[in-house]
Every structure is written in C-alpha cells, then in structure tokens.
Structure 1
C-alpha cells in the first residue's frame, strides 16, 4: 500500500474544500447559511475519506504524515452532513490521540463540533457563532470555570485569546451576522433534523 499516494489524495480533498471556501468568501456568501455547493463538496469529500479510512484505518501522522493527517481532520470537521461518519472518526481519533499518533487539539475541535450539532454544550469552546448582539461568541459551554484549563491541557490558547482571533478573522473575511438570525437558527435546526443530528 502506497501511503504517499494516499496522503496526496487526502491533501487534495482539503485543497478543494479550501478553494471553494475562498471563492464563497470572495463572493460574500460565507454568512448566508450552508451553501449548496459547499454541502455537496463536504459530503463527497467525506465519502472519499471514508473509503480511505476503511482501507488503512485512521490517517495517523505515522501513516500519512502530519500534513495529510491534518487535512483528514479538516475534511472530518467539515463533514457536518454525515453524523455517523463524524462520530466514527471521533472514536478512531480518540484512539490515535491516546497512542500519540494524532493531534489532541483536533480531537477537541471535533468533540465540540459534534456536541454543538447534537445541541449539547461544548467542552473546549472551539465552536463560535453570532450571538443575539451580533457578536461572534463561543457556543454554550459545559463549564465556563474549567474551560481554559481544559483548553490548556490539549495545547489550545485561552478562550479570551481565541475569541479575539475569531473576531479578527471574521472582519478580515468580511463575515457579518445573518440578516435574520431567527430564520438562520430555524433553518439550521431543520437541517440538523433532516441529516440526522437531532430528532
């Protein structure tokens, strides 16, 4: 089995994802809900990565290298229309992190994203959204007191620092709060139900 070829394939999936994101950002479409072309690409990338995982197991750093392992995580993190795939990958990633073969920061992001999609509070404060005051803020947290300690344990900066970074990034990318936050929230809840995150 040629792990270099597999690594190149995984990096290619990430590249296509980021190219489309850049295009949508330039067109000012990043804040308009989940773009159909992006959803299609995320689902297609998830299917391709799932085939790779079924063949080689989780794409750990020792198998495919750091760049491809990071790329695999990004594809998983963006596969929000595939609940079963994301949950399967989280279990595989937990094992890989335990064996020091994957980055614990990436596991923290994936754990939080799944929690938010399931409507649960997040552990590490990695997931952000626009609040009712039009400010980019962390999604609800399970434990505000312990969050920075938990973040530090996996190598993340403080929540306060990350909030500032997210704000700066949103400004740089010309992202803005949705015109109708209630409608966006309602659409998101309906979408989560449709793809299987909630009942």
Structure 2
C-alpha cells in the first residue's frame, strides 16, 4: 500500500490541534476545563485518523515517517472523549513498540493517560493535574522509585524534573488552578461518565 498519501493529512490534523491550542493560550483559556470547541476538534481529528488506521494500521515510523507518526500519536493522545479509539490505538502501539517501529515514550504517555481516565495508578508519572495546593502534580502513580526507574529505562527525565518542567510550562502558558477544585473534580467525573470512561 502507498502510505505516503496519508502523511500530509496526519500532519495537518496535528497542526490544527496545536494552532487552536495556541489560540486558547493567547486568550488565557487553556486551563479552564476542557474547551468545548477543542473537544469537537479532537473528536473530528480522531475520526479522520481512525479511518486512516483502519486502512494502514498504526501509523508507524516505517510507514509514514517520524513526523507523521509523532503527529498521529498526538492526535490519539488528545482524543480523550473517545475511550474505545484510544484503547484500540494502545493495543496497536504496544505491538508497534514490540516490533521497534514506534516510540516507547509515546507508549508510556498513552498508557498513563488511559490509566488516569480509568482511575488506575499510572506507571510513568506523565499525567498531571491541579492539586489542593494549587500546583500541578502527577496524578496517582504506583510507586515513586519504580516510576523513576521506568522513566529512566525509556529515556525520560526524573519525576522531580518533570514536575518542575510542567509547572514552568503551565505558568508560561497562562494556566491557573481552578477556583474550586471540588467543582472541577465533579465536572471531570461527569465528563468521564458522558464519554464512556466510567460505565
């Protein structure tokens, strides 16, 4: 199959995502929950990518090149309102990583993201949210030492360094903690039910 014809489409999906994110950053709205327009865009991108995956399988580096493979991963990572799509892609990404055709770091991030949405401890500490002190902190993880060992094994920095980087980035992107953390938690719970993370 001619995979190259899908490359531009996949990269375009990523670009649309990041361009809209920049608009939200400029408007100081990135941290205000899950923006409705962004959710629509993420769902549209997921639908297009899902069609491509049904035709060519996971967009591995050997099929579409590094840039498009990374772009596909970002679209999957942001398709948070599509649990079945994300889980389907996780299985395909596990296989691709086992065949040395995709990034182990990307697999770590997707594994953690799905774990967080399923209220399970993350393995690599890649996912963060606001805590009761108004700071971005890692979502629940299994064991601090084990997390850092796993991170080191796949080439990630320590969880301490990642935490510092995430907090600095949020500050630079005009992200602020929610005014009411309990309301935010309730909204996340209701959203998880609505999209199917919680049955």
TM-score (norm 2): 0.98
- 1:182 and 1:102 map into 2 onto residues whose CA distance is 38
Deviation at 1:174, TM superposition (A): 1.1
**Pairwise CA RMSD of aligned residues?**
0.8
Unpaired runs of 5+ in structure 2?
none
Give the corresponding residue for 2:14: 14
Counting matched residue pairs gives 199
Unpaired runs of 5+ in structure 1?
none
- 2:89 and 2:155 map into 1 onto residues whose CA distance is 21
Matches within 5 A, 1:14-163: 14-163=14-163
Please tell me whether residue 5 in structure 1 is matched to residue 5 in structure 2.
yes
Structure showing greater relative contact order (alpha-carbon pairs closer than 8 Å, 6 or more residues apart)? 2
Deviations 1:83-134 (A, max 9, x none): 0000000000000000000000000000000000011111100000110000
- 2:157 and 2:187 map into 1 onto residues whose CA distance is 32
Please tell me whether residue 190 in structure 1 is matched to residue 190 in structure 2.
yes
Give secondary structure in 2 for the equivalent of 1:146.
helix
Give secondary structure in 2 for the equivalent of 1:129.
strand
- 2:4 and 2:146 map into 1 onto residues whose CA distance is 41
- 1:74 and 1:197 map into 2 onto residues whose CA distance is 19
Q: Which moved more, 1:3-12 or 1:124-133?
A: 3-12
Give secondary structure in 2 for the equivalent of 1:55.
helix
